[in-house]
Structure 1
């Protein structure tokens, strides 16, 4: 890993925040800034996960509707409200629809796999941390 040195200018308030974060985490200010930059990489992944969750939620809602239909068919079969042949046909249609929805969900889940490749950042040694103290450079 090639390291480059950058000087950034912070307001006094920003510098206090950075110092407080570094102290709370027992890390150098540089390490805190590097970790903050790493979190930016997760934003797109989180957006994609949220979109996938909405899709899965829609499928679960559809499965609930199909399950309700199957329960109603079973009720009618048990109550002899409709003819056996009609109920059998409705049940078969509902089961075929359920199988199709399951296959669609299975295919969609295969495309939802997200790989998160985040490079590990090395935490500076105590010597590097001492060298950083007293300077606003990172």
Structure 2
């Protein structure tokens, strides 16, 4: 169902709309529909920001675990800790890492990010 409405613009607003219409190749009505739907792009930006924050948290945790593993390897190389003690510490760190990877996979890949722009039908009308 299509609804037709009249809109009023001052000269400056109308000139801006004409310029945008020429630049984008969209009719004025298609341009206005596109601008009205821009809130969906703001929503997608928020989703992307949340996704990026999740990735940053994940990377920080991986970095912490990597540092712990490096410390274990260092102590093994200089014989400060006993082999069995280091082996147990390494197992513990890896045991922490596996659930973290699963949690990340569940969170990150369940949230589908549909970022393809929507196509708008453009109808050019003579004398527009």
TM-score range, shorter chain: 0.7 to 0.9
Q: Which range moves more in the overlay, 105-114 or 45-54?
A: 105-114
Instruction: Look up the match of 1:84.
Output: 83
CA contact (8 A) 1:38 1:118 kept: no
How far 1:42 moved relative to its partner?
Answer: 1.9
How far 1:115 moved relative to its partner?
Answer: 4.0
> If the length of structure 2 is used for normalisation, what is the TM-score?
0.88
Stretches of structure 1 that go unaligned for 5 or more consecutive residues are 134-138
CA contact (8 A) 2:54 2:108 kept: no
Q: For 1:93-123, what per-residue CA distance to the aligned partner results, in whole angstroms no more than 9, with x for missing partners?
A: 0110111211111111233223468753211
Structure 2 counterparts to residues 56-135 of structure 1, below 5 A: 56-115=55-114, 120-125=119-124, 128=125, 130-131=126-127, 133=128
3-state SS of 1:30 partner:
helix
Number of equivalenced pairs: 128
Instruction: Look up the match of 2:3.
Output: 4
Q: For 1:12-55, what per-residue CA distance to the aligned partner results, in whole angstroms no more than 9, with x for missing partners?
A: 22111101111222332112112212322221122122112112
Stretches of structure 2 that go unaligned for 5 or more consecutive residues are none
CA RMSD of aligned residues (A): 1.9
Higher RCO by CA contacts (8 Å cutoff, separation 6 or greater): 1
Q: Which range moves more in the overlay, 63-72 or 116-125?
A: 116-125
